[in-house]
């Protein structure tokens, strides 16, 4: 098994810290609004990685955070609190906003068949909410202050990046080369030792005097910086170092280097062995933006009568390290491809007298190809190409029982790896519907085409489409 490790900027053989087990941490959503389809590309990538590891026999302990803390959700120490902005927009409290959009994220994730994390078990679910780890975040800051990696100013506590010589190694950018963005409406804290120093704790002072979410600390009432929660959650739930940490490419420059710095300074070891990052989803060739009116959520997809799993398939058609382009036409093609896969899956219920199941001429080879391509840096485009190739080669004929087993094994592997839910979405049909299909076959043999069409239309009204082949009829749900 091989992955592209951002830390070394090359494809490396995967060797877990502990044989047979993998600790995996994924940066989760910030819950101030609905997650857009660009966000979900990253979450589907996380899910595909976990599924691939599990299919390869690893026991995966997976943790994902929920950023429900009202801090500054950006890589800068200056800016607006997005939870407070959401609360003002909807006339709710920040706590209500966080809870509402956490539930919305979980529902969308379920529709996309994303597995719930299994490495942490909270009071409400298996997601690690940042607000449940404030104590651990304060403890982490205390370690940093005690070891003189962090310093206290009037307005905040900052991490001194100059104390860590390899800060920024993830991006390959030297500290002297890093630039800090300046926002016209915000004044940078003049008490910072270095411009790149980042806040781990903000006090209720100045611009943040009336900040809604805040907690006590040994240094004063305040709230944590963004990167802090991930380091604290990893340390508490998985123990560090972990095997794999994932994120989006936008995390490479600052957010993940900050996480790495905190953990290394506090605990004297690296945060993670492998760092995997997914690329952006473009919309009509452009970055997604509300101002461009190309900002879509899963609700927008469903309202246009697309299956959420068609969007998942669209993501999988591109390699996770390459940008992919979303258009409604591309989604239509992905929906057609999903329908094709589902139609093939129904061959488990082939009703022809000659054969009950489909015979794929090289199914065992396809199984090997699928696994090899998935293990080669999650090459899902090649996985899908292998599936398509096998579909193109299949032929219906009399088969032995072991062919049925191979076909089911093939389908289950596709579902286990890609999460397309082909098996469960193609449940068997009712006995009455089977009888209608058999009746239709009889009238077709007698060349009663009018009656055949009537029975076909009757089945279609019940959501069953019949495709005629030389070996007999194949049905699929519509």
Give me the residues of the chain with pLDDT under 70, please: 70-80, 174-188, 290-291, 348-361, 394-403, 426-428, 469-474, 476-478
- Separation of alpha carbons 274 and 242, rounded Å: 8
Question: How many Å apart are CA 325 and CA 333, to the nearest integer?
Answer: 13
Half-sphere exposure of 67 (CA within 13 A, CB side): 26
Task: Give SS3 for 199.
Answer: strand
Strand-pair category, 472-477 with 464-469: antiparallel
Confidence at residue 110, expressed as pLDDT on a 0 to 100 scale: 96
**Cα gap 232→237, rounded to integer Å:** 9
Please choose, from the candidates 17, 98, 3, the residue with its C-alpha nearest in 3D space to the C-alpha of residue 61. 17
| Other residues' Cβ atoms within 10 Å of the Cβ of residue 95 | 15
- Distance from C-alpha of 137 to C-alpha of 144, rounded to nearest angstrom: 11
> Which of 207, 214, 237 minimizes the C-alpha distance to 95?
214
* Same fold yes or no, 17-278 and 286-426: no
Measured over the CA atoms of residue 221, residue 225, residue 226 and residue 228, the dihedral's sign is negative
Looking at residue 476, its pLDDT comes to: 67
Q: What is the pLDDT of residue 428?
A: 67
C-alpha dihedral, 302 to 308 to 311 to 315, nearest 10°: 150
Return d(Cα 435, Cα 423) in angstroms, integer. Answer: 23
Helix boundaries (H) for 291-379: 298-303, 308-316, 328-345, 363-375
pLDDT at 182: 38
Most distant CA pair in the chain, distance: 91
DSSP tag of 428:
P
Q: What is the CATH number of domain 17-278?
A: 3.40.50.620
* CATH assignment, 286-426: 1.10.730
DSSP state of 135: H
Q: Is the distance from CB of 6 to CB of 249 less than 8 angstroms?
A: no
What are the backbone dihedrals phi and psi of residue 202, each rounded to the nearest 5 degrees, phi first? -105, 140
DSSP, collapsed to helix, strand or coil, labels residue 463 as coil
Residue 387's SS3 state is: helix
* Helix, strand, coil in percent for the chain, rounding step 5: 45, 15, 40
Residue that is written with structure tokens 């030792």 in the block? 193
Nearest to 66 by CA among 103, 22, 115: 103
Are the C-beta atoms of 259 and 16 separated by less than 8 Å? Answer: no
Q: Cα 137 vs. chain centroid, distance in angstroms?
A: 25
pTM: 0.87
Q: Could you tell me the residue ranges of all domains in the chain?
A: 17-278, 286-426, 431-477
Provide the pLDDT for residue 426.
67
Question: What is the Cα–Cα distance from 227 to 165, expressed in whole angstroms?
Answer: 19
Cβ neighbours of residue 432 under 8 Å, at least 6 residues apart?
none
Evaluate whether 194 touches 160 at the Cβ level (below 8 Å): yes
């Amino acid at each position: 098994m091989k992955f592209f490790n951002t830390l070394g900027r090359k494809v490396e053989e995967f060797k877990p810290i502990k044989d047979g087990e993998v600790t995996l941490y994924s940066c989760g959503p910030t819950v101030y609004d609905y997650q857009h389809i660009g966000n979900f590309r990253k979450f589907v990538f996380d899910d595909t990685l976990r599924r691939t590891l599990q299919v390869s026999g690893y026991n995966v302990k997976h943790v994902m955070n929920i950023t429900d803390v009202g801090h500054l959700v950006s890589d800068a120490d200056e800016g607006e609190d997005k939870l407070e902005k959401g609360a003002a927009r909807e006339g709710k409290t920040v706590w209500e906003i966080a809870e509402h959009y956490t539930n919305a994220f979980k529902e969308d994730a379920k529709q996309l068949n994303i597995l719930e994390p299994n490495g942490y078990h909270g009071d409400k679910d298996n997601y690690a909410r940042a607000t449940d780890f404030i104590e651990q975040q304060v403890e982490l800051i205390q370690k940093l202050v005690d070891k003189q990696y962090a310093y206290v100013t009037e307005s905040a506590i900052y991490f001194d990046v100059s104390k860590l010589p390899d800060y920024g190694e993830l991006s390959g950018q030297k500290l002297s080369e890093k630039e800090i963005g300046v926002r016209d409406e915000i004044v940078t804290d003049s008490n910072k030792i270095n411009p790149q120093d980042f806040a781990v704790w903000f006090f209720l002072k100045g611009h943040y005097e009336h900040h809604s979410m805040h907690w006590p600390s040994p240094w004063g009432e305040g709230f944590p910086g963004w990167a802090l929660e991930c380091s604290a959650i990893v340390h508490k739930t998985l123990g560090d170092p972990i095997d794999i940490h994932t994120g989006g490419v936008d995390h490479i420059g600052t957010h993940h280097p900050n996480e790495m710095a905190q953990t290394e300074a506090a605990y004297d070891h690296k945060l993670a062995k492998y760092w995997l990052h997914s690329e952006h989803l473009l919309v009509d060739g452009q970055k997604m933006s509300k101002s461009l009116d190309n900002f879509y959520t899963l609700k927008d997809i469903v309202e246009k009568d697309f299956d959420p799993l068609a969007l998942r398939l669209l993501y999988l058609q591109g390699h996770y390290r390459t940008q992919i382009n979303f258009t409604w036409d591309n989604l239509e093609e992905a929906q057609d491809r999903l329908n094709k896969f589902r139609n093939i899956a129904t061959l488990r219920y082939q009703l022809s007298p000659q054969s009950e199941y489909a015979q794929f001429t090289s199914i065992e080879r396809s199984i090997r190809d699928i696994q090899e391509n998935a293990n080669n840096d999650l090459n899902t485009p090649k996985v899908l190409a292998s599936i398509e190739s096998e579909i193109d080669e299949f032929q219906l004929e009399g088969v032995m029982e072991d062919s049925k087993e191979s076909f089911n094994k093939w389908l289950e592997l596709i579902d286990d790896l890609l999460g397309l839910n082909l098996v469960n979405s193609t449940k068997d049909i009712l006995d009455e519907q089977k009888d209608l299909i058999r009746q239709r076959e009889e009238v077709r043999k007698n060349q009663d085409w009018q009656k055949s069409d009537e029975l076909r239309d009757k089945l279609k009204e019940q959501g069953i489409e019949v495709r005629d082949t030389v070996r007999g009829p194949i049905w699929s749900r519509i």
